[in-house]
A = this chain, B = another copy of it.
């Protein structure tokens, strides 16, 4: 059952630190048919309604060229969510799981992410399918689906270096400084030898 904001049996809240490490600006609003989490679908459906994402000024020019992508990653602010739950009981049955193992809206930073199907863009309005958020959800960002996007800038040396297992840092958080020093020099060599290298790197995305 979907939560309004109650704390359930077996759930654990903490005293959440003040959320002052960085600030967000709402760049738009998402219009949907759902006025409450109690009735919205829990997962987006590509055969669901068309959602109307309204982008505010001064960000409307930033939509330029987005229509080239059939899928768009949408980031939004889950403005009604509590932020202090570390264990949650989605079924409200006495069993709890960690917040990071769920896609529940209740999380320390309640940011929703979805891959939506782009229908069209009309001025500052973006029409998509495949969201599940409630009406008037604040918009945080739009970007091309990572599996469709190929960088436009020329490649960097690290895009192509073979995998090197010794660069792993499983037990030591400190970066391998001598190696980093070498890689600081590599791009300079790269630039001097690859002026005609105009093709962008292939998308090496992990998701299919």
Contact = CB atoms under 8 A, between A and B. Distances in A.
Interface of A: 1-2, 12, 14-27, 31-36, 38-52, 54-55, 58-59, 61-66, 68-69, 71, 73, 75, 77, 79, 83, 85-87, 90-92, 97-103, 107-109, 111, 113-117, 119, 127, 130, 135, 138, 140-147, 149, 151-159, 161-164, 167-170, 173-176, 179-180, 183-184, 186-187, 191, 201, 203-208
A93 B179 CA distance: 31
A106 to B, nearest CB: 10
Nearest to A30: B173
A13 to B, nearest CB: 10
Contacts of A66: 98, 100-101
Interface of A, secondary structure class, is loop
A103 B22 contact: no
